[in-house]
Structure 1
Amino acid sequence: MKKYEWLPESNAPELYPTYIHNGHFYLEDGSSVYIPTSGINYNGWGYTGSTHIQGEDLKALPVKMDITWASYIEKKFYTGSWDMPIDTLKKLFEKGTTAWRDGRISNYSDIRVGCAPGGVVVVWVYGDDQQIEVARFQAAETHVPLIEVVPTNPNLTLDEYFDVSKSVPEAYENIKKNGIQYDVWDIYRKKYNWRARVEIPNHKIVNVGFNMFNGEEETLFNETVKENAFRPRAIPKELGFIFEDNKKVQTVFEVKDFDEEEIFHLFNQADTLKPIEIVLRMSEDFSNRSLVFKNGDKEIPIRKIDFDNMWKYEN
């Protein structure tokens, strides 16, 4: 049985705060670690979140997990217990990761758990700017006595406990305006066969970083960026390019948060039988910047981004 240096983490969507009342990973060697939470979670779907140093430095991989949490916006508790995809985890950890900045060989450092409205639970493994979804589970509604959650306040009511109008006001305002989007977490998981590339005279791409709406992350560099293969990916939330000129001067262009409505419309209307690309174009002097959604011979400009979010890259 191999052991690795990793820690459990938890997260939740920015506008749908949660609190983990109780949760554990049960490891292959019979030990366990708890899934941490530090107050209310609303750090972002798939993002780094609550982390507590615990257990041995080297841990076996989890074969099972359970979790019970509060979903504040819904005013509900959820619970579930599932077998973990141990074969998938073993393959990933045995392969490990390579850091794109220095070529250091390491491994996945975090196993992250995300909880969302409707009882959705997603598990990712993260390491060196690479994050892969390994499981999607469905929890069931449950009842948890508030005295177990807040033992210091026996008079606390459910309405008082679940009120986030002051602690997370943006979540409170969103629910009044938009309601709860129960299906969005599975919509985010849909994948398309696509890639990203640049068209800049006398420049070559050296790095592409993807952050997807489904919480996955990917970084292409060295051989993978040279190959730049089409592969199944979820719709991008963020996208970063590093490219260099003939003098080895490197420049970064970063799309920090695509407009969700615009980018989903482009992918949803695409002909999936034809190649899909996101192409960054500009002149050699970096003028005439554009970002294009290319689907076969059809090209559509992506407009709702900051074209000035570009800078010289310093190692």
Structure 2
Amino acid sequence: MNKILLPFLMSLFLLSCQEKGKIGQENFPYSVTTSAPSGYPIEVHLGFFTDDRNQLICGVSKTGIERSGWQWDGDEGGQGGSVIPAHIDLTYVAYAEKKFYHLDADLPKEKILEVFRKGYLTQSNEIGEDGKKIMVPAHYDILTVGMAPGGMVVIWLSGNKSRVEICRLQAKETFVDKDKFRPIPKSGETQEQFFDTKFKIAVPDSIQAEIEKNGIPFKLWDDYRIRYKYRFVVNPYDDKDKVTGVHNLQYSGEEDFITKQSDAEKYREQGIPYNVTVEFTKYFVNIIFDDRETISVFEELQEKHPGKPIDIVLTPTFMYEDIKVSVKCEQEEIKLQKYKMDGVYGG
């Protein structure tokens, strides 16, 4: 009897260990944050993630007004989980539009799992034989929910200098009684007065003026998500200074960090750059792009040269006092005028 029972119990034990191993491999802890397009503040009313059995995982971070931009992860607010989310239920207010929106949508669970499994490469503190920091595998650990006027919702997974879009969703306009939204109800205040007051307080003066003149640029945030095939072509000031890293943060909210020269020379399908940080042997520089100018130039070049890849050419002046920036497609090259140099460091 023991000769029969022992192998059977061993088989059960091995199967149990295998199942635990599988579960461990699918366990990717993450925190949840929120964001909004720069200058167009939002605030979460209620929100939560559930799994594919409709079991609650965690809430969507409710940490006050978000306004800093698609490119940044907001406050965590103590929310997070390790189960892959399959559904989101979310209600938020878009102060620039003076409207509440509600989203009730399934999430691409398999894509989220795939991105978690794939991970990315990040810099360690260990220095390799070539004098550079060694790149090591890492997993994404922040899930960010971006909300905008018009009901646009975008979800990203973020890590250190790496961010990837998971999906773009569409919320519907809804009604929420402002007294059920406010922490403390304000007697005698109408819904319209609530929105007018919040608009004046939360929305920057410059954005208020733009809305009054041109309306809310609903199309702009989807324009951010249009992918162009481009690369950065960096010309060091002299042969002694080599490019050691290119960090590209995009207006779409995605980002990547490239350290291999061979990878930096490849064209990539990506949104227009928000900023690029280029690391040289002795210096590193940071350039911030103007979204409207860059979109206009890219659209013009793609219309004239359909399907052709684009180079963003960076040319330093003496001692990196300035970087000249132009956009080139085939033989046509257009100089950018509205970018900003955010400092040159090193020496």
Compute the TM-score of the two structures, normalised by the length of structure 2.
Answer: 0.81
Aligned residues of 2:30 and 2:80 also touching (Cα < 8 A): no
**Judging changes above 3 Å, is the alpha-carbon distance between structure 1 residues 167 and 298 closer, same or farther for their aligned structure 2 residues?**
closer
Q: Please, which runs of 5 or more residues in structure 1 have no aligned partner? A: 245-249
CA distance in 1: counterparts of 2:203 and 2:98, whole angstroms: 14
| Alignment match, 1:26 | 50
CA distance in 1: counterparts of 2:276 and 2:313, whole angstroms: 11
CA distance in 2: counterparts of 1:7 and 1:97, whole angstroms: 17
CA distance in 1: counterparts of 2:90 and 2:108, whole angstroms: 16
| Alignment match, 1:220 | 258
Aligned residues of 1:146 and 1:158 also touching (Cα < 8 A): yes
| Alignment match, 2:285 | 253
**Judging changes above 3 Å, is the alpha-carbon distance between structure 1 residues 207 and 101 closer, same or farther for their aligned structure 2 residues?**
farther
Alignment counterpart, residue 42 of structure 1, candidates 57, 67, 86: 67
Q: Which amino acid aligns with 1:89?
A: I
| Alignment match, 1:247 | none
| Alignment match, 1:122 | 154
CA distance in 1: counterparts of 2:311 and 2:52, whole angstroms: 42
CA distance in 1: counterparts of 2:306 and 2:151, whole angstroms: 31
Alignment counterpart, residue 112 of structure 2, candidates 73, 89, 97: 89
Larger Rg: 2
Q: Please, which runs of 5 or more residues in structure 2 have no aligned partner? A: 1-22, 126-134
**Judging changes above 3 Å, is the alpha-carbon distance between structure 1 residues 301 and 274 closer, same or farther for their aligned structure 2 residues?**
same
| Alignment match, 2:219 | 183
**Judging changes above 3 Å, is the alpha-carbon distance between structure 1 residues 309 and 176 closer, same or farther for their aligned structure 2 residues?**
same
**Judging changes above 3 Å, is the alpha-carbon distance between structure 1 residues 252 and 73 closer, same or farther for their aligned structure 2 residues?**
same
> Does residue 74 of structure 1 match 2:74?
no
Q: Which amino acid aligns with 1:188?
A: Y
Compute the TM-score of the two structures, normalised by the length of structure 1.
Answer: 0.88
CA distance in 2: counterparts of 1:169 and 1:282, whole angstroms: 35
Q: Say which structure is richer in helix.
A: 2
> Does residue 208 of structure 1 match 2:246?
yes
Alignment of 1:96-175 (within 5 A): 96-100=119-123, 102=125, 103-150=135-182, 152-155=184-187, 156-162=189-195, 163=197, 164-170=199-205, 171-175=207-211
**Judging changes above 3 Å, is the alpha-carbon distance between structure 1 residues 238 and 288 closer, same or farther for their aligned structure 2 residues?**
closer
| Alignment match, 2:84 | 61
Aligned residues of 1:190 and 1:234 also touching (Cα < 8 A): yes
CA distance in 1: counterparts of 2:335 and 2:319, whole angstroms: 20
**Identical counterparts, % of pairs:** 29
RMSD of aligned alpha carbons: 2.2
**Judging changes above 3 Å, is the alpha-carbon distance between structure 1 residues 287 and 142 closer, same or farther for their aligned structure 2 residues?**
closer
**Judging changes above 3 Å, is the alpha-carbon distance between structure 1 residues 274 and 53 closer, same or farther for their aligned structure 2 residues?**
same
Q: Which amino acid aligns with 2:224?
A: Y
| Alignment match, 1:301 | 335
Q: CA deviation at 1:47?
A: 1.4
Q: CA deviation at 1:82?
A: 1.0
Aligned residues of 2:162 and 2:254 also touching (Cα < 8 A): yes
| Alignment match, 1:232 | 269
CA distance in 1: counterparts of 2:342 and 2:268, whole angstroms: 29
The secondary structure found in structure 2 opposite 1:61 is coil
CA distance in 1: counterparts of 2:250 and 2:323, whole angstroms: 23
What is the total number of aligned residue pairs between the two structures?
303
Q: CA deviation at 1:174?
A: 3.6
The secondary structure found in structure 2 opposite 1:52 is coil
Q: Which sits farther off after the overlay, 258-267 or 285-294?
A: 285-294
Q: Which sits farther off after the overlay, 182-191 or 197-206?
A: 197-206
* CA-to-aligned-CA distance 1:95-130 (integer Å, 9 cap, x gap): 222223543432111111111111111111100111
Q: CA deviation at 1:273?
A: 2.7
Aligned residues of 2:317 and 2:324 also touching (Cα < 8 A): no
